[in-house]
A and B are shown apart, each in its own frame.
Chain A
């Protein structure tokens, strides 16, 4: 956790950090799904998967190389695989 805090501090200092946060365990998930005219609730995640989204960090990067630089830092800090993708504001 210390590494993760250091990563965030560095990203903030570099002016690229927008926000970040972690998701709670998969066991806390409830899925809301439209089915015809109804909306159904189910207990649990979409599907039990070996890899699942654990959290999100949004950074403001000029291009993929810059984004990957921070992705690498995040992977080192969390020791988790980091998927880097463009994010579009709604």
Chain B
């Protein structure tokens, strides 16, 4: 790759979403905006170096000019004048304020509740992240044609049903923001074995925090993603490595420090929410040589109040086992209605093992391995089960 290519690629990663956002506002049309921005980047590949002082500004200006040219070629004389005037009349380079608002507008359009979650995710990655349709299809294990159709349909709905291009009113903001955060977290989780997707979710999370610094859940989500990401190298060290035996020297200290900082800022604001509490739990796990389970349990108690779901109750049971012993935790786990959920059986297996019930534990490991779709996880579960049988003399 030449230097020019890598410069353009870096600008593309950083600024694609901003450029598309500005152009969508100027042109009122997503497809046209994408096309003009793509042409502007193609032009950058031909023309750079020298790289202009504001690469993003150059891309936006070039894309605008291309839109004007296109319009001149295609429209009638009167419409041509009006439109070109309109386009040229807008300030060309806006580095702050309104430009940031444009990205915020676009993310709320992409994550509008009138679109289904899969469409929200695809549009966000495509329009703000600059991922191509084949890249998004691969990330979500969906045929390319299906993903293309999904994106076309979503854009069609935005156009036809007039999903607006603006930040929601205050009254709607909490609900609408929840959808945006859910989309980012879903992208992040999809990045378990795709570091590029996790990085994209973190990048978008950073942008969102910059745009909405007063929303504690935005801060909480970013902290949660950073702290989870900090353990990537240790977590997947030749298979799946559980937290308590991970090599802590392989954790990313910079990400941990940043995540802890964000969690402290959240605590100071005193407006807890599910992402903040989950981030606080991760902060406890990444603080010092051992997890403080009593504190983790207290945080799970809080999380269970905020989001009373069986999955949260299951995670709480793991902490409960550390504080009050496996028998108490097992009673809780057996009361949960999550029969098809692999982690439930993995947790049960581990509790049964600790309660010295190897046969029951083996059955639970087998059930967990059967339900999981993740190969590394299945390997780990089968290994655990194998260790069990040898340990208990083949019973």
For residue A63, which residues in chain B have a CB less than 8 angstroms away from its CB? 162-164
**B82 lies within 8 A of chain A by Cβ:** no
Residues facing B in A48-90 (CB within 8 A) are: 62-65, 67-68, 84-86
For residue A68, which residues in chain B have a CB less than 8 angstroms away from its CB? 114
Does the CB pair B168–A65 fall under 8 Å?
Answer: yes
**B161 lies within 8 A of chain A by Cβ:** yes
The distance in angstroms between the C-alpha atoms of A12 and B163, with both chains bound, is: 23
Residues facing A in B156-173 (CB within 8 A) are: 160-164, 166, 168, 172
Contact-residue bracket for chain B: 10 to 19
Does the CB pair A64–B161 fall under 8 Å?
Answer: yes
The distance in angstroms between the C-alpha atoms of A84 and B172, with both chains bound, is: 18
The distance in angstroms between the C-alpha atoms of A34 and B162, with both chains bound, is: 34
The distance in angstroms between the C-alpha atoms of A64 and B112, with both chains bound, is: 10
Nearest CB of chain A from residue B68's CB, rounded to whole Å: 26
Q: Of the candidates A64, A85, A86, which one forms a contact with B164 in the assembled complex, judged by CB atoms under 8 Å apart? A: A64
For residue A85, which residues in chain B have a CB less than 8 angstroms away from its CB? 161
For residue B162, which residues in chain A have a CB less than 8 angstroms away from its CB? 62-64, 67, 86
For residue B164, which residues in chain A have a CB less than 8 angstroms away from its CB? 62-65
Contact digits for B159-197, partner A, Cβ 8 Å, 1 yes 0 no: 011111010100010000000000000000000000000
Name B's A-contacting residues (CB within 8 A).
Answer: 112, 114, 160-164, 166, 168, 172
**Other than the known A62-B162, A65-B163, what 9 A-B pairs have Cβ atoms closer than 8 Å?**
A62-B164, A63-B162, A63-B163, A63-B164, A64-B163, A65-B166, A65-B172, A85-B161, A86-B161
Name A's B-contacting residues (CB within 8 A).
Answer: 62-65, 67-68, 84-86
CB-based closest 4 A-B pairs = A63-B164, A63-B162, A64-B163, A64-B161
